[in-house]
Amino acid sequence: MKFLAQDQLQAFLGHLAGESRVVAPVKGDDGVVLFRPWSPGTEVELDVLLAKQSAKEFVLRQSETYLRYGYAMEGEAAAQVDDSHEAKVALEDPAERKAAQDAAVTAHAVLVVEPVNDAPAQVIFGLRPCDARGFVQMDNVFGGYGGFYFDPYYNAKREATTLVAVTCRDPRSTCFCTSVQGGPAATEGADVLLTQVEGGFAVEVVTERGETLLASADLADAGQAQVLYAETVKETAEARVDAAFDLEGVREHLRANIEDSGWHDLSMRCISCGTCTYVCPNCYCFNITDEMVEGQGERIRTWDNCFNPSYTLETSGHNPRDIKSNRFRNRFSHKFWYYPEKYDSLLCSGCGRCITHCPTRIDIREVLGVMGSERTAVSATTPATSGGEA
């Protein structure tokens, strides 16, 4: 274990910034703490437990350009027909191909496509263990599943990112990481874990990437007292996280209660916005749009969420999740049923942002308590009402 003195923090971040972009929680003029690109002299905010948003945005960008496209006009077009257009018009017969090329030139335009995938090296500093774990949970989706769904955009950024997590000293009453197999000092996903001790941070290397990051930082070894202090901080924090619900059997209960009227009751005060999903370190749904102005366009990926009316809207006009309670149910079922079934993990790391940021305080712990376990007892004594939704 190494030691980083509080008064060395700026120099340390400056050192990291020499190699890559540094992202850290920073308090704005309005008092709102968000992960922002750090620049020398900027104070890192670690007293406020959680930034308003997770650090997800820096790997799964809220808006991301896949590619740019446009029509090259006459003259330019002629020069590009051979390379670009030939690839597009996959015609076997040379005569047909020539005719197609001629037609393209006659039309004075040819489609030019430029792929984009910017992934500068970056260090995300000061995120909490729940946020770090969120990346691991998203990795399954974007990089896993036998590589079939390997997502070059997510992974380029993920591979260029080093995560320096900080142990939670004072978990909030809405934190429930320990109920979802995590903890305030858990290292899953983190490359380095810092723990605030007297006068600075106890520094633990978790991964090889973390080791590389610290290799040139020239940190002193932590003293015995600092090691012990760090252990105490971790234990105290762990004890402060309240048990929220029993994970045992949640998946089966969700499946069994899919048509239960409880979903309707629980979703009554939901206003059907997407806040919970956008502040969540694990929610990863996205949409793809072509946006074009005057012949030049971009294909962009933007975050989407299951509360969006067009989320599962089919071209026929049918929407299997056409009302609020169905959309509401999806969020919890996805995190604790569909995803676990596929990846043998959870899609929730217990940060509690969905609770604290929800305009009407929908509480995922309450939902899982009611639908995930207690509900069976209720249903066992009263006949199940199917749906209850108009």
Partner 1 sequence: MSDRQAKIRELAGAALAEDRVDYFIGWKQGINSSEAIPAFVRNADEVDQLVWNPLSHHNLTAFLKRKMPDPPNARIGVCVKGCDSRTLVALLQEDLVDKERIYVVGVPCDGIIDRRRVEKEFADEVVSISFSGDTVTATTRCGDSKDFAKGDITFDHCNTCRYPNPFYADDMAADPVPEPEDRTPMWGTIEEFEALSPAEKDAKLADAFETCIRCFACIHACPVCVCWDQCVNRSRRPALVGQRVDTKENLMFQMVHMFHVAGRCPSCGACDRACPVEIPLYLLHRKMNKELYDMLGFEPGVSLDEKPAFQTFKLDDPFGEH
Contact between 243 and partner 1 by CB under 8 A: the answer reads: no
The CB-of-375 to partner 1 minimum distance in angstroms stands at 17
When the beta carbons of 173 and 385 are compared against partner 1, the nearer one is 173
Q: What part of residues 79-108 is at the interface with partner 1 (CB under 8 A)? A: none
When the beta carbons of 234 and 327 are compared against partner 1, the nearer one is 327
Length of the chain: 390
Listed in order, strand segments (DSSP E) in 172-254 are 192-197, 200-205, 220-221
344 by DSSP, 3-state: which?
coil
Contact between 173 and partner 1 by CB under 8 A: the answer reads: yes
The CB-of-11 to partner 1 minimum distance in angstroms stands at 25
Among 271, 296, 341, 342, binds partner 1 (CB under 8 A): 271
Residue with tokens 């919890």: 332
Among 216, 269, 295, 296, binds partner 1 (CB under 8 A): 269
* Segment lying near partner 1 (by CB under 8 A), choices 67-75, 336-344, 355-363, 378-386: 355-363
Contact between 68 and partner 1 by CB under 8 A: the answer reads: no
When the beta carbons of 195 and 277 are compared against partner 1, the nearer one is 277
When the beta carbons of 25 and 210 are compared against partner 1, the nearer one is 25
The CB-of-5 to partner 1 minimum distance in angstroms stands at 21
Strand order in the sheet with 296-303: 109-115, 63-73, 296-303, 286-293
Tokens coding 14: 């400056």
Contact between 283 and partner 1 by CB under 8 A: the answer reads: no
Residue with tokens 């509080």: 6
Contact between 272 and partner 1 by CB under 8 A: the answer reads: yes
Contact between 32 and partner 1 by CB under 8 A: the answer reads: yes
307 with 328: CB under 8 angstroms? yes
Among 91, 239, 268, 378, binds partner 1 (CB under 8 A): 268
Angle of helix 152-159 versus helix 129-143 axis, rounded to 10: 140
**294: CB partners within 8 A, 6+ apart:** none
Among 6, 11, 37, 63, binds partner 1 (CB under 8 A): 63
Closest to 368 measured CA to CA, from 100, 180, 213? 180
35 with 57: CB under 8 angstroms? yes
348 with 335: CB under 8 angstroms? yes
Contact between 296 and partner 1 by CB under 8 A: the answer reads: no
Contact between 325 and partner 1 by CB under 8 A: the answer reads: yes
Closest to 109 measured CA to CA, from 88, 134, 137? 88
When the beta carbons of 224 and 315 are compared against partner 1, the nearer one is 315
Among 85, 158, 324, 329, binds partner 1 (CB under 8 A): 324
Q: What are the Cα distances from residue 119, in Å, to 21, 93, 161, 303, 358?
A: 11, 40, 9, 18, 32
Among 357, 374, 376, 379, binds partner 1 (CB under 8 A): 357
Q: Give the whole-angstrom CA distance, residue 36 versus residue 26.
A: 6
Residues at the contact surface with partner 1, assessed by CB under 8 A: 28-32, 34, 47-49, 52-53, 62-63, 170, 172-174, 264-265, 268-269, 271-275, 277-279, 287, 289, 291, 300, 302-303, 305, 308-310, 323-325, 355, 357, 359-361, 363, 389-390
